[in-house]
Amino acid sequence: MREIWTLVEVSGEKILRASQEALCEAVRQGRQLRVRTTALVLGSRIPGQILERLGTFGPDRVLVVDNEAVSSFSPNAYTDALEQLLAAHKPDVLLMGSSVLSREVAPRLACRLGCGLVTEATFLNPQDDGFLVTRSAFRPHASMIVSFQRQGLQIITLAAKVMDVETAGPFSYAIEYVTQPLSFTSDTVRVEDTIKEISAHLDLTDAEVIVAGGRGMQSKDHFDLLDELAEVLGGAVGASRMAVDMKWRPKECMVGMTGKIVSPGLYVACGISGAIQHVMGMQSSETIVAINTDPHAPIFRIATLGIVGDVRDVLPVMIESFRKAGAEAERQEYSA
C-alpha cells in the first residue's frame, strides 16, 4: 500500500462529522503502515480555515478541487470528478464517511472504476495489499469480515460514530490544488425546489438520541426539562403511553408497541417504569439510560445505566453538565 485517500465533505464552514472520523482513521492507519495520507476536498472557493483545520487532523497532503460543478449537492458531478481523479492518481484506498452524498457516490464510483466497495465498515484490518474490512450483517445478530478480490483501488465507507476524532499537531502538510482539467457528464436530475427547512423537531424514528418521559414526569410542565435536554443533546422527545393519555404529549411522540418503534444510539427513559408495551418499542436502542424513583422498576432490567432518583432532581443536573461539556468541546474546536 502506498497511499490512502479520504474524501472530505464540507458544508459551509463546517467539516462533516463523518468525514472527520474517516480522515482520522485514515491518518491512524497511514501512520501505522507508513503510507501517505491525502485529504481530498471538493467545492468552490473553500475557505482557507477549513483547509487549515483539515491539516490539524494530520494528513500528509490536502488536495483541493476548486470547481463550480461540485459546489452544491450533486452526486453526479462528484462521481465524475472523483472518477477522473482516482484514475489519474491511482491511490490504493479511498475512505469516505457515511453520508447522503457518499451513499450514492461510492457505489457509482466503484461500478465505473471496476473496483470493490464495502459500505458501513466498523473496523479496518490492514493486510499486505489493502484492508480486511469488518462490518455488521443481520444487525444486530452478526458481523462479517470481507476481503477484496481484485487488485487495485478499494473503496470503503465507514459507519457513523465508530471511529474516534482526534486533533493534535501541529503537523506539516501540503495544500495542493488540482490542476487537471475535469469534464462533467450532463445529468437530467434537477433540484426544482427546496421545499422546507426541517426544524429542530426531529422525527423520532430518525433521531440518534431520544429523551422520553412517562408518568414519573408528574406534570406537563416538567416536559420542558425533556425538551431542554433533547435540545442540548440534539435529539427528539418521546413519551410513554401514560404521558400521551394524560395529554402531556401528542400521540406522535408515543414510543412503544402502539406508537413508534425506535432504535436510537442513546435512549434516556425518564420516569418510565418499563411496561412491556413500551419496552418493545425501544429495547433495541444501543444504550439505555433509565431514571426512576423505584429501584425495582422493570426498566432497570434492560437499562445499560440506571439512576434511582427523581427526574426533577436529575434532569437539571444532566442539562447543565451536557451544556457545559458542549461548550467545552466548542472551545476546543476554536483553539484547534
Partner 1 sequence: MNETGLNIAVLVAPVHDCRNPVLIDPVRKQVDPSSLHWILNPPDTIALEQALRLRDRIPRSGVRVVSVAPPSTERVLRECLAVGADELARLWDERIEEADTHSIAALLAAVIRSGPVDLVLAGWRSADMEHAQTGSIVAELLGFPQITCARSVEPGRDPAHIRVEKRIPGCLLAMSCALPALVTVEKGPPLRYPRYSDRRNAWRTPIRGLDLRAIGLTEAPQSRLRVERMTPPKPRRRSAIGDGANMPVAARLQRIMAGGAQAKKETNVHRCPDRSSTLKVIEHILKERLVVLPEKSGNGR
Q: Please report, as residue ranges, which positions from 53 to 82 form the binding site for partner 1 (by CB under 8 A).
A: 73, 75-76
Scanning 27-35, 88-96, 101-109, 174-182 for contacts with partner 1 by CB under 8 A, the matching segment is 101-109
Q: Does 138 bind partner 1 (CB under 8 A)?
A: yes
Of these, 88, 201, 234, 331, which contacts partner 1 (CB under 8 A)? 234
**Which region, judged by CB under 8 A, interacts with partner 1, from 22-30, 116-124, 252-260, 270-278?**
116-124
Per CB under 8 A, the list member of 2, 31, 90, 150 interacting with partner 1 is 150
Q: How far is the CB of 179 from partner 1 (least distance, A)?
A: 28
Closest CA to 232 of 277, 203, 200: 200
DSSP 3-state assignment of 174? Answer: strand
8 Å CB contact between 174 and 61: yes
Q: Which has the closest alpha carbon to 262: 202, 322, 197?
A: 202
- Sorted by sequence, the CB contacts under 8 Å of residue 259 that are 6+ apart come out as 241, 244, 251, 253, 281
Q: Stretches 30-38, 88-96, 168-176, 322-330: which one binds partner 1 (CB under 8 A)?
A: 322-330
From 49, 172, 179, 219, residue interacting with partner 1 (rule: CB under 8 A):
49
Check: CB of residue 118 under 8 Å from CB of residue 133.
Answer: yes
Q: Which of 123, 51, 67, 59 is nearest to 91 (CA)?
A: 59
Could you tell me the smallest distance in angstroms from the CB atom of residue 204 to partner 1? 13
Q: Please provide the DSSP assignment of 74-125 as one string.
A: -HHHHHHHHHHHHHHH--SEEEEE--HHHHHHHHHHHHHHT-EEEEEEEEEE
Q: Does the footprint of partner 1 cover residue 250 (CB under 8 A)?
A: no
Closer residue to partner 1 (CB): 17 or 89: 17
In the list 35, 64, 65, 110, the residue contacting partner 1 (rule: CB under 8 A) is: 110
From the list 33-41, 57-65, 133-141, 170-178, the region that binds partner 1 by CB under 8 A is 133-141
Number of residues that bind partner 1 (CB under 8 A): 89
- List the one residue from 2, 258, 317, 331 that touches partner 1 (CB under 8 A): 317
Cβ 284 to partner 1 shortest distance, Å: 9
For residue 223, the Cα-to-chain-centroid distance in whole angstroms is 28
Q: Which residue has the cell 482516482?
A: 86
For partner 1, give the closer residue by CB, 28 or 108. Answer: 108
Closer CB to partner 1, 137 or 174, in the complex = 137
Q: Which residue has the cell 462521481?
A: 79
Shortest distance, position 76 Cβ to partner 1, whole Å = 8
Is the link from the previous residue into 170 a cis peptide, with omega within 30 of 0? yes
Nearer to partner 1, 251 or 301 (CB): 301
Max Cα-Cα span within the chain: 68
Q: Tell me if 273 contacts partner 1 by CB under 8 A.
A: no
Amino acid sitting at position 76 = N
Nearer to partner 1, 108 or 215 (CB): 108
Q: 123, 126, 167, 322: which one contacts partner 1 (CB under 8 A)?
A: 322
Residues 188-217, interacting with partner 1 (CB under 8 A): 188-198, 208-209
Tell me the Cα Rg of the chain: 23
Report d(CA 170, CA 41) in Å as an integer: 20
Give the whole-angstrom CA distance, residue 303 versus residue 296.
12
CA distance 318 to 184: 51
> Which one among 161, 167, 215, 227 touches partner 1, defined by CB under 8 A?
161
x/- letters, 284..303, toward partner 1 (CB under 8 A):
--xx-x---x-x----xx-x
Residue with cell string 439512576? 307
